[in-house]
Amino acid sequence: MNFLDWTKYIGVMIIATFLTFFFHEMSHWIAYEVLGYDAGFTLNGASIKNSLIKLTKTHRIITSASGPIFTIIQGIIFYFVLKKHKNIMLYPFLFLPFIMRLGATWANRFQPNDEGRISLDFGLNLYTISIIVVTFLFFLVFKTSKKNKFSIVLNIITFIVSIILLFSLAFIDSKYKIRFV
């Protein structure tokens, strides 16, 4: 890829990062609302507005699972799109779900997040469901990269830029907490 192609690719990565996080968190928000809770969401979090309300175990599992389910579906859709069309500009929409859930797995060490909470609610090790989700998404990335002959250089750059974008988005969200609802 030439400089202009890399510039476009990184631009697509920025868009893919924003949309992946936005729809992941919006999925949590929708689950809360469907279950009857007044909720809101930011780019990196969703919660009920009244922090005194305690969710039932079932509602906690449903609301925790809704975001990762959307993110997994996104990965599956773009896996099949990329299987049919070798369009490198769509690759970030498959790669970002993997990076997002990989980052969430790492963040479990500080506080259980989506898959971590679900694992604990099922009496499993904190990382069990996270490892399953990340492994599945990695499999989709690996198969796509191999089939489409995406180079190791592309994958390393995509990984590094994705990590930078993930941490940037988390930082911006923690600093400004821009609520969508």
Domain ranges in the chain? 3-176
Query: pLDDT in tens for each of the 181 residues of the chain?
Result: 899 999 999 999 999 999 999 999 999 999 999 999 999 999 999 999 999 999 999 999 999 999 999 999 999 999 999 999 999 999 999 999 999 999 999 999 999 999 999 999 999 999 999 999 999 999 999 999 999 999 999 999 999 999 999 999 999 999 998 899 9
pTM value is 0.94
Q: What is the rounded distance in angstroms from the CA atom of residue 127 to the CA atom of residue 106?
A: 9
Block residue for tokens 């868009």: 15
User: Which stretch of DSSP H or E encloses residue 74?
Assistant: helix 57-84
Residues, the chain, total? Answer: 181
Closest listed residue to residue 119, CA positions, set 110, 132, 128: 128
